[in-house]
Amino acid sequence: MLGILWNLGAFIVALGILIAIHEYGHFWVARKCGVKVERFSIGFGKTLFRKVGNDGCEYVIAAIPLGGYVKMLDERVEDVPESLKSQAFNRKSVWKRSAIIAAGPLANFGFAVLAYYAMLVIGVPSIKPVIVNVEADSPAQVIQVDEPKQITAISGRSVRNWEEAQMAIIGHIGDSSIEVTVEPVSGGASATYQLDSSTWKFDPETESPITSLGLVPFTPEISNTIAFVAEGSAAAKAGLQVGDELILLGGEPVNSWQGFVDVIKRSPGVPLPLEINREGERLQVSLTPDSETDRQGNVSGRIGIAPVTAQWPEAMQIELSFGPFEAIGAAADKTWHMMGLTLGMLGKLFTGDIALNNLSGPISIAQGAGSSAGYGLVYFLGFLALISVNLGIINLLPLPVLDGGHLLYNLVEIVTGKPVPENVQEIGFRIGAATLLVVMGFAIFNDIARL
């Protein structure tokens, strides 16, 4: 319950910040263009907070934090007194109207740069992308790994940690090849390999892009001692405790944590005799893994424990940090890269390279907000920047109900010299709204299916 409340709180904070930034972009440029703004609202529905400023604008925080709006004086919406008609949105030139519309998404991109800038100045503790092996019969099998090697670039783009490596690999979903550059951790010449990814399959629900490609990352030694037991889990019901050492499972020695996990996954609902060492005393318990069904209908066992792992070696750790001037370029580059990646993913969604079941909705965003906030400020800033870029890109899609649709109408007006007829606009808005509702329905359905 506390986890749900934490995720919800982080979600509201994140969404509130991003919506306020987006709407402020519209608000600020509208004022600069001489348009009278009547209301600036964060959220919809019942008003929780209301204040009328000296400028006559009504500032509102509403109960449903899933959007916001800037209400501008507009003769197409309401009657406008003759004295105020010069301040109406519809009386402004098509270029000023376009600037006001585009300002929201641009504000999101600007905020992403600021968030990445703050994150990079503070410093991001990271792990170097080091691999110790590759899987046979996988796209990565062509890489020669006779000693630990660090991935230094993906398709020519430098990567410094696993987060950058994963993002770069995800960008190649649907591509026929991926170029990976590695170099020995101990020093030596780098080598570049061309991976055949034409048959690469990646399911983000069950694996990471790294392992799905066949790369085996370096991980600290994992012991057979329990570090965490989830409340209400199969392990808790069996009486397992933090500090218990796993000795025998089904009469066979537990030689490795992965071997133990493999047996558990193969045994959903099957009682298994387990012998543990608890403070020097051997104990026998009966462990029955819970059944867990993935989206493909495969059933596997789960017991809800985590092992004690060794500390990451200092040589594997890195802190991405920049000086106040260097960070400007790095933040802008990271934002630009994320914009390109987001556009690429949207394109692959339409071409079918990415399935619709990969869409995420508000529940997934809330979980991401909660987990990133739990890790610390720099990770929450990174999450805000990522969602802000996505929000900006989505709003620029040429759907009439979005900013991009309004810009499309303005483009038609610029080319033809005449505004799009209001009845045509209305039909477009209805089509756009219906399309958006269908997509959101898919996203919410996927969220629920993942629970």
Q: Which residues are catalytic?
A: 23
- The 3-state secondary structure of the chain reads CHHHHHHHHHHHHHHHHHHHHHHHHHHHHHHHCCCCEEEEEEEEEEEEEEEECCCCCEEEEEEEEEEEEEEECCCCCCCCCHHHHHHCHHHCCHHHHHHHHHHHHHHHHHHHHHHHHHHHHHCEEEECCEEEEECCCCHHHHCCCCCCEEEEEECCEECCCHHHHHHHHHCCCCCCEEEEEEEECCCCCCEEEEEECCCCCCCCCCCCHHHHCCEEECCCCEEEEEEEECCCCHHHHCCCCCCCEEEEECCEECCCHHHHHHHHHCCCCCCEEEEEEECCEEEEEEECCEEEECCCCCEEEECCEEEEECCCCHHHEEEECCCCCHHHHHHHHHHHHHHHHHHHHHHHHHHCCCCHHHCCCHHHHHHHHHHHHHHCHHHHHHHHHHHHHHHHHHHCCCCCCCHHHHHHHHHHHHHHCCCCCHHHHHHHHHHHHHHHHHHHHHHHHHHHHHC
